[in-house]
Structure 1
Amino acid sequence: MTPSPSLRVFMLGATGTIGRATVRALVRQGHEVVCFGRASRVGRASIAPSAPEPGVTVRVGDVSDAASITRDGFKGEPFDVVVSCMASRTGTPRDAWAIDHQAHLNVLQAAQTAGVPHMVLLSAICVQKPLLAFQEAKLAFERTLIDSGLTWSIVRPTAFFKSLSGQVERVQKGKPFLVFGDGTLTSCKPISDDDLAEFLASCVTDTTRHNRVLPIGGPGNAQTPRQQGEQLFALLGREPRFKQIPVALLDVIIAVLGALGRVVPPLADKAQLARIGRYYATESMLVWDDAAQRYDASATPSTGQDTLVDFFAKRLRGDATDDRGEHAVFQ
């Protein structure tokens, strides 16, 4: 097999768990990686300027400032590809349009000026049915990237392990596993950071993944929340215990926070977060078949080898950490 050529990669979002995994994957594949981000973020990450990983350069700047991207990021140097794992941290409208859309526009414009020919974008599978501000912001940039003239690869993963691991501690403590409805309203093909990172990194040189929207999930069959809970209880050697939460409760919370948000602006953001929670409680993270008006697990591609049950086992042993941030739903 002919080895992949070594390319120069301009990396965004390298301080998140998926971003860090993608940097490692790119380096393993022989590429030179230049990471760009805010000083407040890179200083707390493993790719800190004082101790960068071999094959990695870290540059500090501001993605919200187009001039900073050019001056502090690209620095007039040639790059073969931009890889972005950058995303808004909360998903609220202001954050989403500032990061998922405008910051990416700033980077795209700088990349075009610098003559970068290719961009790999980490998006989300939920943009198939956009009901929320962050989904609209992501879609708006996707459309701009597709029309930009650059070669592009848009990766839309299903649910992340960290998004599904919030109940490990509560179940360990003897509490029931919480589900919306009966726990079978939704399903997904969970994917690990490392498996997603390998897929993203391969988009750099795999021409079959160029100029394509790429939904991707982890290995195995789709799983419902109830099945995920059953796996966790099995690892603990306990009979499954579930507590059902009616979706209508979320509707009440959204209505109350939405009304109060007209008077107290911070509560408007809380209402938006509740809407995001409701979306994930009622929509599967699988490929949407628009003709059939249903989610299709068989049409959702799989990759990698890491499974959610293995991740649960690592969490129970203390061999894996939980860095969910705003991905937390249950505490």
Structure 2
Amino acid sequence: MISKRIFLTGATGTAGRATLAALQEAGHDVVCFARSAVDLGGEVRVGDIGDAASLVRDGFRGEAFDAVISCIASRSGTPRDAWAVDHDANLSLLRAAREASVGQFVLLSAICVQKPLLEFQRAKLAFEAELIASGLTYSIVRPTAFFKSLSGQLDRVRAGKPFLVFGDGTLTACKPISDRDLGRYIAGCLEDAARHNAVLPIGGPGPAITPLDQVAALEAILGHEVRVKRVPVAMISAIRGGLRIAGRFSGKLAEKAELAGIGRYYATESMLVWDGARYDAEATPETGADTLFEFYAQVIGEGRSVALGDHSVF
């Protein structure tokens, strides 16, 4: 494999750190661009990704790079944050890359954009369109759920509390992917021509699992029954509806309505390939070897908690 010089953004996040590790493992020379001088085990340049001038001055510095990899994502998913980060910051990065004559751009997106009902999904799709039209060789990686996203209830279950499911617990399914497997897949986009100029939905090793499958796995790991509490989807819909009405008079409540909408989306939509009529587990590609239930067993066996950060979705 030929070593390449890579400009990486979002390296302080979960997926970004895993991507950095995979790039370094493959022998690439990586320059990370971040808001502060954090120790990532490689070169870090400090600047503001939302500032086009900072990207050029503090990031690229007139130097040559073979590819740019963007792992940035808005933290909250609210409209202002989503358009500022998922679209505008990525667009500034794309323009800086073109100015620096970079030939390849790999974008970490999300599988949920295939059925866009929320503002952060629209922001991601708008940038995807800009990237596709840019003339650069592109790879748009759309992963399914992360392990952390499905670990928000481990502590409550170990404390004897019930596992919360929406509806009957089988409304949604996904093929969870580990940070390590996702990072390696993203890094592999640099060399694999089959991943060039392509939109790439990707999951971890199958089969697809539902919330009730998670309950069964936890019972096997813990060695006792896990109680289940069913939450009506209508409840979260009613909460969102009330917040949307109140949001007409308050920007803060409008943001809360959007967050409730995000919660409802993940409670009712699967993170699998959408064919226009249904979610198709068989059509959802798989990569890697790490499984969610092995991750659960390791976390429980070590008696530790999962630092959820912005991934507290179940």
- CA distance in 1: counterparts of 2:103 and 2:304, whole angstroms: 37
Whichever residue aligns with residue 93 of structure 1, its letter is P
Match of 2:13 among 12, 16, 26: 16
- CA distance in 2: counterparts of 1:61 and 1:193, whole angstroms: 25
Secondary structure (helix, strand or coil) at the match of 1:58 reads strand
Report how far residue 324 of structure 1 moved.
Answer: 2.1
Aligned 8 A contact 1:125 1:158 in 2 = yes
Secondary structure (helix, strand or coil) at the match of 1:101 reads helix
- CA distance in 2: counterparts of 1:329 and 1:280, whole angstroms: 7
Map 1:33-52; keep pairs closer than 5 Å.
33-39=30-36, 42-43=37-38, 46-47=39-40
Aligned 8 A contact 1:17 1:323 in 2 = no
Q: Does 1:59 align with 2:45?
A: yes
Aligned 8 A contact 2:273 2:281 in 1 = yes
Secondary structure (helix, strand or coil) at the match of 1:233 reads helix
Secondary structure (helix, strand or coil) at the match of 2:279 reads strand
Aligned 8 A contact 2:105 2:139 in 1 = yes
1:72 matched residue in structure 2: 58
Match of 2:169 among 135, 158, 183: 183
Distance 1:329 1:181, change over 3 A: same
Whichever residue aligns with residue 294 of structure 1, its letter is R
Report how far residue 258 of structure 1 moved.
Answer: 1.6
Secondary structure (helix, strand or coil) at the match of 2:310 reads helix
Report how far residue 207 of structure 1 moved.
Answer: 1.3
Report how far residue 12 of structure 1 moved.
Answer: 0.5
Match of 2:111 among 125, 137, 140: 125
Distance 1:199 1:70, change over 3 A: same
2:308 matched residue in structure 1: 324
Aligned 8 A contact 1:8 1:31 in 2 = yes
1:308 matched residue in structure 2: 292
Q: Does 1:248 align with 2:234?
A: yes
Report how far residue 314 of structure 1 moved.
Answer: 1.6
Aligned 8 A contact 2:157 2:226 in 1 = no
Report how far residue 319 of structure 1 moved.
Answer: 7.0
- CA distance in 2: counterparts of 1:158 and 1:329, whole angstroms: 13
Q: Deviations over 1:51-84 (max 9, x none)?
A: xx1xx21000001100000000000000000011
Report how far residue 265 of structure 1 moved.
Answer: 1.8
Q: Structure 1 stretch 183-192 or stretch 315-324: which is displaced more?
A: 315-324
Secondary structure (helix, strand or coil) at the match of 1:252 reads helix
Aligned 8 A contact 1:80 1:116 in 2 = yes
2:178 matched residue in structure 1: 192
Report how far residue 320 of structure 1 moved.
Answer: 6.3
Identity of aligned pairs, percent?
62
Match of 2:26 among 26, 29, 33: 29
Q: Structure 1 stretch 224-233 or stretch 181-190: which is displaced more?
A: 224-233
1:146 matched residue in structure 2: 132
Aligned 8 A contact 1:218 1:303 in 2 = yes
- CA distance in 2: counterparts of 1:252 and 1:319, whole angstroms: 37
Q: Does 1:287 align with 2:284?
A: no
User: Number of matched residues?
Assistant: 314
Whichever residue aligns with residue 265 of structure 1, its letter is G
Whichever residue aligns with residue 298 of structure 2, its letter is K
Whichever residue aligns with residue 162 of structure 2, its letter is P
- CA distance in 1: counterparts of 2:258 and 2:219, whole angstroms: 32
Report how far residue 315 of structure 1 moved.
Answer: 1.5
1:50 matched residue in structure 2: none
Distance 1:173 1:299, change over 3 A: same
Map 1:70-219; keep pairs closer than 5 Å.
70-219=56-205
Whichever residue aligns with residue 235 of structure 1, its letter is I
- CA distance in 2: counterparts of 1:187 and 1:310, whole angstroms: 18
1:261 matched residue in structure 2: 247
Aligned 8 A contact 1:8 1:32 in 2 = yes
Aligned 8 A contact 2:155 2:305 in 1 = no
- CA distance in 2: counterparts of 1:320 and 1:130, whole angstroms: 35
Report how far residue 8 of structure 1 moved.
Answer: 0.2
- CA distance in 1: counterparts of 2:209 and 2:148, whole angstroms: 15
- CA distance in 2: counterparts of 1:188 and 1:329, whole angstroms: 13
Q: Deviations over 1:220-251 (max 9, x none)?
A: 20001110121112210012321000000001
Secondary structure (helix, strand or coil) at the match of 2:168 reads coil
- CA distance in 2: counterparts of 1:118 and 1:181, whole angstroms: 43
Report how far residue 190 of structure 1 moved.
Answer: 0.4
- CA distance in 2: counterparts of 1:238 and 1:321, whole angstroms: 19
Report how far residue 277 of structure 1 moved.
Answer: 0.6
Unaligned runs of 5+ in 2: none
Q: Deviations over 1:296-318 (max 9, x none)?
A: 00000001111000111122123
TM-score by length of 2: 0.98
Q: Structure 1 stretch 151-160 or stretch 312-321: which is displaced more?
A: 312-321
Runs of 4+ in 1 over 4 A off after TM superposition: none
Whichever residue aligns with residue 289 of structure 2, its letter is Q
